[in-house]
Amino acid sequence: MSTGNDTKAFKRAEVNLQGQLKSYVLERYHHHYVPGLNLNKTPWVQQWNLENVMSLYRQYPHQCDLPKPLLPPTKLPRSVLADGDPATDILATKKYIDEDANRILDTFQAHQNKFTIQLKKDVSWTFKNDKMESNLPRYIADLADILEMDPDPRFEGKYNWYYTGGTLASVTFGGEFLLFFPYMEEMVAMPLCTKDNSIWNPVYKKAAKCSIKHPIYELRHNVTAQTCRILARCKTECAFYSITERDNKMSILEVDSQKSKTPFLSADLNSFDLNRYCTLKIDRALELWDMVSGKCIRKNTVKSTKCLDDEWGSVRYQTFNPNIIAFADRCSLHYLDVREPFEDPVLSMSPKSHLESCDDISLCIPSNRESRYYLGTTHSLLMCDDRSPEQCVHQKWTHQFRSPPLLGSTLMCSGQEYVIISSQVPSDVSIVINTWENYDDPHSYSLPHTPPCMMDTLMECQQLGKCLDPFLRSRLKLSTVGLQLLTNDSTHDAFIFLQNSIGDIFYQCITHCEDTENLPLINTHAYYALESWEHEILQQNRDIIPLVLTDQVNMKHVFDDFSNPALKYKLEPPEEIIFDSWKQSLDKLSSYVDILAPELLSAWEISEEGELAPQAAPHQKVLSWLEMSSPKLTENQSQEPQEESFVSLTPILSQELVSVSQQCRDVVEIVDNDIIEEPIYSATKMKTKRKGAKNKSSYVAGF
């Protein structure tokens, strides 16, 4: 029975996964939930059966440890403290602008009869005070104000594709691993050293840094035996840095920069000439530059063969041929020859026949093998070979990312090519291992594997009662903007380095052996590192001064009043306010009548209040008391005691009658013989300590 069920499931998968997905599947389900057919070898399998499928695919052959932080936490900007993300702020801003603009347009459509429609040709402009003025309907002026707040009118998309390529770069220079990254408005070149248990430590003494003016979106590098050149692409500027080593200390210096009013989409360094580079702008303008002369060698606009959804593009010099530039847009991969006018490509490869209707190219990374490129699309990863442009797709994997991939890296390790791609979502990371049995026959035995992310490390720590700060979760969910693969030459292990949008860097090993015994110990180091990292974050949060914002108010009139010298403040005497005294006489208070008293007293069957007895004045009370006590005092003094043994136990001594200077007589205590002579408690003797004589000081005045 199980064999039959397996056969039916296999038949359904064979029918539904081959070719493009049906329309009802795309309409009812999220596209990234739907799996696809992985074409993992060349040539492809023409006829599928259950036996050859089981022999073609294997599980991921390694184990991955939990990621851990590499550097101390960066100081957060206020936008992040308000649940913001620097990588997606442009998306949120444009979303709010679109909502406000659509609200005005919907109101106009609903009440179109009430508005006056004014054509563009009917608008007349006049110059007044060096400004152009015109009379327009109110809704047009409001719509213009909203559209003017757009930070980038030419940007369109569901993710920030300015970060294509990533903000991390790694090289081996001077016998050391160097990691380049932006960190708190600085460009940092950090040497790294390895330790046991898959731990990397930054060498701060050798590190170098320099300030940067704008946020960095992409880093490219080129290394020779003597120098190392880094290209940092910003939105409107490309900066170039030179790395040198002297006296066991790294130094980084900005050697050139290229500015532009049009945003840059991509840039790359020539692999054979450090002084040559190319840039791609958002208007598809490709420029070749010489850093020595500072002049543009060649410039042209690449034509678009199809109608594209947006202006995204990516350029790369070929590793083995510096005269060819690989240019990728949303639908194709083009080869441009710099020796000819590159208005039209010399070769174009379109993988659209192997993609869904909603698939667009979003990433292009070169393979370690010649003539091959890995193309990341919305739902797939493709390996293309330019030697067969008509059938360029030789391999295909389904990554199932929630967002299009825009970061990627390749690495040859132990004879296998590791390909890793990532989107801006922190958990969207996929590892593909391509095995080259022969030079031209790639075969990927394992399916795309997703390693643990920082949220998994946080979850394990919270199960142990650690890292319970709720803000830590939101910080670890920030967008990923940098990715790099490194290998340890001593252990031949591969490591992933990831950077989020505020500069935090995390790393993990992805090639542990399946039977390793040190994996629990390595994960324990990750728990401890995250706990220490959280402690540093809490220390930083204590120093943050809270920012209180009020509603937006126009304060121009206040500024005009304060800046007007003609206005003078006239001091007027304060008005005297006379309040009625709170003191009232008893006669006045007694004259008040309690209206609610009868209702309240009726519960106790009391109809009227009893009359209060008249009370004498205080001085009258003292005089009457003296008159009553003086006859008794004289009578007691005239009588003689009849018995000598009678002694008053309670002498009449009043504070009002006895003077302060009088001394009380001793009272003789009468002891009754009937009382038991044995004391209940043993008598205690009080010992007084004698004060010792003070030692004479041997101090002599004057010394």
Q: What is the pLDDT of residues 368-410, one digit of tens each?
A: 988 899 999 999 999 999 988 888 899 999 999 999 999 999 9
pLDDT of residue 609: 56
Pairing of strands 393-398, 218-223: unpaired
What's residue 339's pLDDT?
A: 87
Give whole-number Cα distances, 293 to 166, 492, 561, in Å.
Answer: 29, 43, 56
pLDDT for position 101: 93
Q: Say what the pLDDT of residue 579 is.
A: 72
Query: Which of 541, 665, 578 minimizes the C-alpha distance to 81?
Result: 541
Residue with tokens 């003609």: 566
Closest residue by Cα to residue 216 from 259, 167, 252, 258: 167
Kindly report whether the global pTM for this prediction surpasses the value 0.95: no
Q: Is 436 helix (H, G, I), strand (E, B) or coil?
A: strand
Predicted local confidence at residue 415, as pLDDT: 80
Upper half-sphere CA count for residue 443 (Cβ side, 13 Å): 10
| Residues of the chain with confidence (pLDDT) below 50 | 1-2, 641-686, 696, 699-703
Torsion sign across C-alpha atoms 59, 61, 65, 71: negative
The token duo for 649 is 């136990």
The continuous run of DSSP H or E covering 619 comes out as: helix 618-638
pLDDT value at residue 180: 95
**Bond into 86 cis (ω within 30):** no
Half-sphere exposure of 390 (CA within 13 A, CB side): 0
Structure confidence at residue 659 (pLDDT): 39
Tell me what percent of the residues of the chain surpass a pLDDT of 70. 83
Confirm if 608 and 594 have CB atoms less than 8 A apart: no
CA dist 400 and 379 (Å) reads 6
Q: What is the number of H-type helices and E-type strands within the chain?
A: 13, 31
> What pLDDT is stored for residue 525 in this prediction?
94
Q: What is the pLDDT of residue 662?
A: 42
